[in-house]
Amino acid sequence: MQKQEYTITVYTENQIGLLNRIAIIFSRRKINIESLNTSPSEVESVHRFTIVINETEDVVRKLCGQIEKQVEVLKAYYNTAGEIVWQEMALYKVSTDEIAEKVQVERLLRQYGARAVVIRHDYTVFETTGHREETDALVKVLEPYGLIEFVRSARVAIIKKSLGFHEKLKEFEYREPGEETAENEFLNEGEKVFSM
């Protein structure tokens, strides 16, 4: 099996120490996390982890199984880049003098969909969203114009064919204790999940 990029989506209770325990699962297997984002989900009191790694599907499936063994984890899904809609946000700090003197920079920023979020006499901060290649390309373009600082967020992603975890969570709450769950029961066609 060949390695490729996978996005792992984990729905959890919001508990102290869970992030550390999940990170240990990756570090024990010497797997580098390319991107990690945690945020509230559409369900009150349920949080969502979005983790990006480059691995084989077999390894990713086993990782999801290990993650789901954590008491606070409700479900772990994995998807390829084609099965999700995703974006990253980036901020660029540039010398205001350079921006003011060179009109072409403004045109370049429009070309990349950037907008000014802070303008001061000594620097200007621009923001843009997109895929990694797009945000990296703008870094290269801005370097000759006095790029002072650059930062990019972790990936945020939505599964294309998902009905929404909150609907499946409601179904799960109404089940009788001990009912068995079937593989992929939380998902529509095309999504992957590891079920215990």
Q: Which domains does the chain have, with CATH numbers?
A: 4-84+157-193 (3.30.70.260), 86-152 (3.30.70.1150)
> Distance of CA 97 to CAs 36, 123, 139, 171, Å?
35, 8, 18, 58
pLDDT at 170: 62
pLDDT at 169: 63
The mean pLDDT of 147-153, rounded to a whole number, is 95
pLDDT surpassing 80 at residue 23? yes
Q: Which of 49-53, 92-96, 115-119, 172-176 has the highest mean pLDDT?
A: 49-53
pLDDT surpassing 50 at residue 35? yes
Helix (H) / strand (E) containing 138: helix 132-142
- Residue 88 vs residue 165, higher pLDDT: 88
Half-sphere exposure (CA, 13 Å, Cβ side) for 27? 6
The mean pLDDT of 25-35, rounded to a whole number, is 95
Of 39, 40, 37, 41, the residue nearest 168 (C-alpha): 41
The mean pLDDT of 125-141, rounded to a whole number, is 92
DSSP 88-105: EEEEEEEEHHHHHH-HHH
pLDDT surpassing 60 at residue 175? no
pLDDT at 145: 82
